[in-house]
C-alpha cells in the first residue's frame, strides 16, 4: 500500500481539547487501523489549551513513538484556529485533518488516498453521508446554519466536515490567509483547487463528550458567515430601499388625504411605523456594528494564536 503514498509523507493533523481520557486509546486505534492498511503516517496534535492532562498524554506519546509531534496553545482558541495552526506548524507532502474522537473513521483514510491518487485532485473533502447519532438540537442548529450560509454566501457546505485530505499546494495557499477569524472549511473551499467529495459515515463518539453546545455552534455559525462574506451589509441597503418605497407610497397617500381634507387621527399607523422603522434601523446598525467589531479585531494585528510548548 505504500505505493499509494509514492514515498510522500502523510501527516494527520488532530486538534485535541480536554481529551485526556480518550486520546491514548484513540491514538492506538488510529495507528493500528492504518497499519493494517499499510499506512504509517506522522501524527501532529494541537492541544487547544486543554485544562486536563491532555498535554501530558501528547508529550508521552511523542517520546514513546517516532513521528509524533505536538504543539500546545496557551489557552483555548477553538478548533478552527487549532486546525489552522496545526497545518501551519508541520511540514509534509500530504495533510489529513481529523477529529481525535474516531468520529472521522480512520478506515476511510486509505480510500481517501486512493481517490487522490486516482483522480489526481488536490483536496479530498469528507462529507457526512449521515450525521451519526447527534442530538435533535444539534442537528437542527447545524441544518439551519448551512441553509442560512447557503442563501447568504451561495456556499454549499451541507454535511461538510473537517475530515479532509489536502496536498502541500493547498496548505501553502492556506498559509497566505492572515485573518484572525476564520472558518477552516470555508477557506478550504474558497481557495479552490481540484476537489473531490468523499462521503463517509460518521461514527459515534467513543469516549468523552462533544465540546460543541448549541450556543457554541451558534457563535461558530455567526463567525463563519462574518468571516466569509459581507453580504449581510448589503441586506441593510435592500431593506432601506424597501422602506423608502413604502415611505413614498405612504407619504403620497398622507399628503393626498391632508389636501383633500380626509386627514383622520391615525395614531395606530404612526405607532406601527415608528416601531417598524425603529427596529429596522437598530437591526441595520447591529449588522454594521458586528462588522466594525471584526475590523477592530483584525486591525489590532494580535497574534492569531499563542504556542506555549512544542514536542
Task: Report how far residue 268's alpha carbon sits from residue 87's, in angstroms, rounded to the nearest whole number.
Answer: 60
According to DSSP, the residues that pair with 197 across neighbouring strands are: 125
Q: Residues 99, 157, 185, 227: which binds ligand UDP (CB under 6 A)? A: 99
The site partner of 90 among ligand UDP, Mg ion, none (C-beta below 5 to 8 Å per kind) is none
Nearer to Mg ion, 26 or 103 (CB): 103
Nearer to ligand UDP, 101 or 122 (CB): 101
Q: How far is the CB of 134 from ligand UDP (least distance, A)?
A: 8
- DSSP E strands in 55-97: the ranges are 68-73, 94-97
Q: Residues 13, 41, 101, 146: which binds ligand UDP (CB under 6 A)? A: 101
Q: How far is the CB of 64 from ligand UDP (least distance, A)?
A: 20
Q: What are phi and psi of 264, to 5 degrees?
A: -115, 165
Q: Does 58 bind ligand UDP (CB under 6 A)?
A: no
Taking alpha carbons only, the member of 196, 60, 174, 2 closest to residue 118 is 196
Nearer to ligand UDP, 132 or 232 (CB): 132
Q: Residues 63, 135, 210, 230: which binds ligand UDP (CB under 6 A)? A: 210
Task: Report how far residue 197's alpha carbon sits from residue 13's, in angstroms, rounded to the nearest whole number.
Answer: 19
**With contacts defined by CB under 6 A, how many residues of the chain interact with ligand UDP?**
17
Decide if 118 contacts 210 (C-beta within 8 A).
no
Tell me, rounded to whole angstroms, the distance of Cα 95 from its chain centroid: 17
Nearer to ligand UDP, 168 or 205 (CB): 205
Q: Residues 100, 189, 223, 227: which binds ligand UDP (CB under 6 A)? A: 100
The site partner of 78 among ligand UDP, Mg ion, none (C-beta below 5 to 8 Å per kind) is ligand UDP
Other Cβ atoms less than 10 A from the Cβ of 59: the count is 18
Positions in 41-100 near Mg ion (CB under 5 A): 99
Task: Report how far residue 6's alpha carbon sits from residue 10's, in angstroms, rounded to the nearest whole number.
Answer: 11
Q: Does 82 bind ligand UDP (CB under 6 A)?
A: yes
Task: Report how far residue 114's alpha carbon sits from residue 108's, in angstroms, rounded to the nearest whole number.
Answer: 10
Q: Residues 103, 167, 195, 227: which binds Mg ion (CB under 5 A)? A: 103
Q: Does 101 bind Mg ion (CB under 5 A)?
A: yes
Decide if 31 contacts 10 (C-beta within 8 A).
no
Contact string (CB under 6 A) for ligand UDP, positions 12-31, x = contact: ---xxx-x------------
Taking alpha carbons only, the member of 61, 88, 66, 85 closest to residue 75 is 85
Nearer to ligand UDP, 63 or 210 (CB): 210
Task: Report how far residue 70's alpha carbon sits from residue 100's, in angstroms, rounded to the nearest whole number.
Answer: 13
Tell me, rounded to whole angstroms, the distance of Cα 60 from its chain centroid: 30
Cell 393626498 belongs to residue: 256
Q: Which three cell numbers stand for residue 273?
A: 411605523
The site partner of 82 among Mg ion, ligand UDP, none (C-beta below 5 to 8 Å per kind) is ligand UDP
Task: Report how far residue 150's alpha carbon sits from residue 162's, in angstroms, rounded to the nearest whole number.
Answer: 18
Nearer to ligand UDP, 12 or 171 (CB): 12
Q: Does 80 bind ligand UDP (CB under 6 A)?
A: no
Span near ligand UDP by CB under 6 A; candidates 11-19, 106-114, 118-126, 179-187? 11-19
Decide if 63 contacts 311 (C-beta within 8 A).
yes
The binding site for ligand UDP (CB under 6 A) comprises 15-17, 19, 48, 76, 78-79, 82, 99-101, 103, 205, 210-212
Catalog residues that contact Mg ion under the rule CB under 5 A.
99, 101, 103, 205
Amino acid at each position: 500500500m505504500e505505493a499509494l503514498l509514492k514515498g510522500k509523507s502523510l501527516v494527520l493533523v488532530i486538534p485535541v481539547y480536554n481529551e485526556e481520557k480518550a486520546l491514548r486509546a484513540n491514538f492506538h486505534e488510529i495507528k493500528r487501523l492504518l497499519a493494517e492498511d499499510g499506512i504509517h503516517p506522522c501524527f501532529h496534535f494541537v492541544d487547544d489549551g486543554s485544562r486536563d492532562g491532555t498535554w501530558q498524554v501528547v508529550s508521552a506519546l511523542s517520546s514513546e513513538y517516532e513521528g509524533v509531534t505536538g504543539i500546545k496553545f496557551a489557552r483555548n482558541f477553538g478548533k478552527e484556529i487549532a486546525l489552522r495552526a496545526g497545518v501551519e506548524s508541520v511540514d509534509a507532502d500530504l495533510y489529513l485533518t481529523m477529529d481525535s474522537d474516531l468520529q472521522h473513521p480512520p478506515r476511510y483514510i486509505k480510500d481517501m488516498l486512493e481517490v487522490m491518487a486516482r483522480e489526481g485532485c488536490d483536496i479530498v473533502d469528507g462529507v457526512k453521508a449521515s450525521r451519526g447519532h447527534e442530538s435533535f438540537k444539534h442537528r437542527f442548529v447545524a441544518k439551519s446554519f448551512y441553509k442560512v450560509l447557503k442563501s447568504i454566501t451561495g456556499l454549499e457546505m451541507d454535511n461538510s466536515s473537517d475530515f479532509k485530505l489536502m496536498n502541500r499546494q493547498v496548505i501553502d495557499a492556506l498559509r497566505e490567509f492572515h485573518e484572525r477569524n476564520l472558518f477552516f472549511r470555508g477557506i478550504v473551499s474558497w481557495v479552490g483547487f481540484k476537489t473531490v467529495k468523499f462521503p463517509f459515515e460518521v461514527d459515534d463518539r467513543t469516549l468523552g463528550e462533544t465540546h460543541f453546545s448549541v450556543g457554541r455552534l451558534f457563535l461558530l455559525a455567526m463567525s463563519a458567515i462574518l468571516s466569509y462574506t459581507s453580504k449581510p451589509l448589503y441586506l441593510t441597503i435592500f431593506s432601506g430601499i424597501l422602506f423608502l418605497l413604502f415611505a413614498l407610497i405612504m407619504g403620497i397617500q398622507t399628503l393626498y388625504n391632508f389636501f383633500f381634507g380626509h386627514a383622520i387621527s391615525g395614531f395606530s399607523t404612526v405607532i406601527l411605523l415608528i416601531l417598524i422603522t425603529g427596529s429596522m434601523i437598530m437591526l441595520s446598525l447591529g449588522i454594521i456594528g458586528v462588522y466594525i467589531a471584526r475590523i477592530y479585531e483584525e486591525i489590532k494585528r494580535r497574534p492569531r494564536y499563542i504556542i506555549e510548548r512544542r514536542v
